[in-house]
Amino acid sequence: MTVERVALAVLPTPLQPMDRLGEQLGLPPGRLWVKRDDLTGLALGGNKARKLEYSVAEALAAGADTLVTGGAAQSNHVRMTAAAAARLGLSCVAVLTGTEPSTWEGNLLLSEMLGVQVRWAGSVDYAGLNAAITEAADIARQDGSRPYVLPVGGASLAGDLGYVTAAVELRRQLPDLALVVTADASGGTHAGLVAGLGDHRLVLGVDTGNRPDLLDAVPRMAADAARAAGLPTPTGSARLDREQIGGGYSQPTPAGRHALDLAARTEGLLLEPVYTAKAMASLLAHATRGRLPEGPVVFLHTGGYPELFIGHYNRWLRTAPAADRDHPPAVAAPSTEPTATW
């Protein structure tokens, strides 16, 4: 496969200490860090920018003039694919689940501003949405376009290579890193990091409830990404925390809410309910149980800010208990043990 890359992201992203958050957790300065992939640029940033650098390069190499992809109406991936298309003078078609809402907000509004052509797929599952994306590409082809398909959420081997490069960048910034904590949906970010770092034990993926087969998928994708990048097969076995899913994908959790408040009020760091708050909740749970490894621990901030501005989450974001508003909450202590152990 091609490993060409087109520059779309602002790189390297900063690595910043989180000593005030660490202090709340009884950790010494220099133990907790945040890798700011929310600052990758490309229409408000996020992990998809690094993935798009490789998948869009593949599209250009194939002579495509139209990117065809899809996801949920609030897909961060669709927003950033639309931005990449605009930057490169390509068209972008997005197939979205559900029907057109009465109000276009958050990622959906931004995708429209970026010029995406939206098709509504109705109530379809993951496989049904990928089929609808393929169908949209066929229609574009019949209309004389040269489409390139990015599957749901941009999950592809080419995309995973973006996080192989990110791992190399991170290792350069923090050579003795002991653990990276990241939110998992497709698991591509997790897999790419593992491939780049060479060891599953250095990455804790936090399952956000997007796909049920992560524990099988991540090692497979990591091995494929390592092979494609010319690196050895990663050692160890995959680490996954499945205790933060709560009611399911995109359903906010109380532990996520505590994590969101704590990060905001100790570090001025914004998280959102779907991915990063759940990942931070996992990090906090591991820290309070003394389950973090010795050495520097990095929280990968994968972005997702537009979700903060949709009405759906507004009430949840505004209804913290009054005591929590006045005083940052103590670290949440979920009743169950995380599945990952150290």
Ligand X SMILES: Cc1ncc(COP(=O)(O)O)c(C=O)c1O
Give the footprint of ligand X on this chain (CB under 6 A): 46-47, 76-77, 153, 155, 183-190, 275, 302-304
Task: Give yes or no: 111 in active site.
Answer: no
For ligand X, the closer of residues 181 and 284 by Cβ is 181
CB of 310 to ligand X, least distance (A): 14
Question: Closest Cα to residue 173, out of 165, 183, 185, 162?
Answer: 165
Q: Which is nearer to ligand X, 64 or 280 (CB)?
A: 280
CA torsion 297-238-124-96 (nearest 10°) is: 40
- In the complex, least distance from residue 323 CB atom to ligand X, rounded to whole angstroms: 29
Nearest approach, Cβ of residue 45 and ligand X (Å): 9
> Exposed, middle or buried: residue 89 (CB in 10 Å: 0-12, 13-18, 19+)?
exposed
**140 or 187: CB nearest ligand X:** 187
Q: CB-wise, 22 or 154, nearer to ligand X?
A: 154
Instruction: Dig out the tokens for 210 from the structure.
Output: 């997007």
Q: Exactly one of 75, 91, 111, 156 is catalytic; which is it?
A: 75
Q: Which H or E run includes 249?
A: none
Which segments within the chain are labelled E, that is strand?
15-17, 32-36, 66-71, 91-96, 117-120, 147-149, 179-184, 203-207, 239-241, 297-301
Beta bridge partners of 32: 297
Tokens of 321: 């208990």
Query: Smallest gap, in angstroms, from Cβ of residue 145 to ligand X?
Result: 26
Residues annotated as catalytic are: 75
